[in-house]
Amino acid sequence: MKRETLGMQIARHFRTGILMITLLMVLVPVGAFAGNGQEFNGGSFMELGIFGAMVAGFVATKDFNMGGKTVKVGQLGIDKGWYKEVDGQRGAIVAMEEMYAKEVGEASPYLGLSHAEIYLKKKQLRAAGQEVPLTAFEKQLLFAGINIRGSHADQVEKFFQSSANSVLFPAFVSDKILVGQLMNAPLTELIHTRTTINAKSYDKLTMTETEEQRQTKQKVDGVALREFTIGVGNRSVKVKTYGGLIKSSYEAMRYAKIPILGRFLERVGAQIQIDKMNELVLTLKNGDGNSNAITSGRTYTQAAAGAIALIDVIKWATFAESPYKIDKFVSLKAHLQEWYAALAAMNNPRDQFDFVGIALPKGYEWPKSDSGMDASTNAFFGVDSRYAVEEVNNGPVLVESDKLIDKQLERSAVSESSGFAIDENAVFRFTAQ
């Protein structure tokens, strides 16, 4: 990475000076008009000059050489108070994307995405061998000269060498916690939608249906069209809070490499995700609090005692009634091993099943018996991931930004409030004999 040359710095300051002069030329007559025709004096000129400098600061840029290509990066005018506006809503990482597009005028492929979706978008681009553009947050780190990756990464103290650097620290913490969440637990694979609310409970949409009620054809002329009633009833879902305190000090952490701190923060995120996943499995088993626990009608019982057989694989894969299909399931390790053992005698089970129109569901190991997984009976919990689970939350992970900026990790709380609403028609159970 190549920093600005002296010539680049002079050119940038020249552009900034031209911008300030232009702003003053526009604002002087506006100021005179706002003063009801009063004479424009030196005090007014000074005030406008300060305002012009503030505006110019929002568009300060630096040029960087990245892979032989010059990249222009703009600096955002964020401070400690800015976090209070965005924390608990869309989050700092998302807000930076919106702010960068507005203040710098640069389009971004991440604009309009949630924090998790930004991470997954980058992962998708990387897997496809495509260029992965910098996020607005990464551009701010670049502008500040903070390197958070690789063997030449900076020490944690680099975040606190200036006020402009320290305001980036809360975003770094929340970003690493989110990475830890997405790298652990199959939670994201089982959810079709995330809904953000500003309350402790959520009235979910429901549609009562049976196979007969789903039919739309008219058997008799003149009969009224079938009614599909979608509404909100007395079926609410409560959110629970997951989180804890990160306790450390600047003196203890200042010489640590930033990626090392990042690994510990990812572990915090991983634990939040593990605890949420436990809650999801319990919800699949017991329902979301609205008398919608799994029934015998949505439970497949193993054909014979002992290990899972190939016939169980076939019947489980085809168990759900149309339009539903079981495409994903979670299981204890021992049962998942039996599942794969039943397929071991086949050369290419997925292709062979696909040939006759049977889509094998994807299994995920979940080793936590305290989550509702029973080693003897509740072998699998399966879902149609298109319909089964809606995650309800109060926004992204909330961090105490002011403490992170002022006290550098000393007893700073991180938390997330989340709950799960399920469509019981799309949840199924495999029971062992």
pLDDT digits (tens, 9 = 90+) for 253-304: 889 999 999 999 999 999 999 999 999 999 999 999 888 899 999 999 999 9
- Classify 289 as helix, strand or coil: coil
Of 420, 401, 377, 423, the C-alpha closest to 93 is 401
Query: Is the pLDDT at 94 greater than 90, yes or no?
Result: yes
Looking at residues 219-228, what average pLDDT do you find? 69
Number of residues written out for the chain: 433
Phi, psi of 426 (to 5 degrees): -110, 20
Residue 391 has pLDDT above 80, yes or no: yes
- Tell me what pLDDT residue 55 has: 45
- Element of type H or E holding 103: helix 92-103
Average pLDDT over residues 336-359: 81
Task: Write down the H helix ranges in 293-356.
Answer: 310-317, 333-343, 349-355
Task: Write down the residue that tokens 């739309």 correspond to.
Answer: 216
| CB of 262 closer than 8 Å to CB of 148 | yes
Q: What is the pLDDT of residue 210?
A: 67
Report which of 292, 341, 342 is spatially closest to residue 315, judged by C-alpha positions.
342
- This model's pTM is above 0.85: no
More confident residue, 162 or 36: 162
Strands 193-196 vs 328-331: parallel, antiparallel or unpaired: unpaired
Nearest-angstrom CA–CA distance, 241 and 393: 9
- For the residues 148-176, what does the mean pLDDT come to? 93
**pLDDT bucket at 228, cuts 50 / 70 / 90:** confident
Burial 206-228 (b: 16+ CB within 10 A, else e): beeeeeeeeeeeeeeeeeeeeee
Mean pLDDT of 378-393: 93
- Region 156-170 average pLDDT: 93
**Percent of the chain having pLDDT more than 70?**
81
Question: What is the rounded distance in angstroms from the CA atom of residue 190 to the CA atom of residue 428?
Answer: 13
Q: Averaged over 329-336, what is the pLDDT?
A: 92
CA-CA distance, 296 to 14, in Å (whole number)? 75
Tell me: cis bond preceding 323? Omega within 30 of 0 counts.
yes
Residue 346 is encoded by which pair of tokens? 């086949």
> In the prediction, which pLDDT does 8 show?
44
Over residues 244-252, the mean pLDDT reads 87
Per residue in 37-87, pLDDT (tens digit) is 545 454 444 444 434 444 444 458 888 887 778 888 999 989 888 988 887
Tokens matching residue 41: 């004096």
Confidence of residue 18 (pLDDT cuts 50, 70, 90): very low
Least confident of 201-205, 326-330, 383-387: 201-205
The residue-averaged pLDDT of 398-404 equals: 88
Whole-number pLDDT of residue 287:
92
Cα four-point dihedral sign 211, 214, 219, 225: positive
Residue 27 has pLDDT above 60, yes or no: no
Strands 328-331 and 378-383: antiparallel
pLDDT of 215 strictly over 90 = no
- 159 exposed, middle or buried (CB, 10 Å; 0-12, 13-18, 19+)? buried
pLDDT reading at 1 higher than 90: no
pLDDT at 53: 41
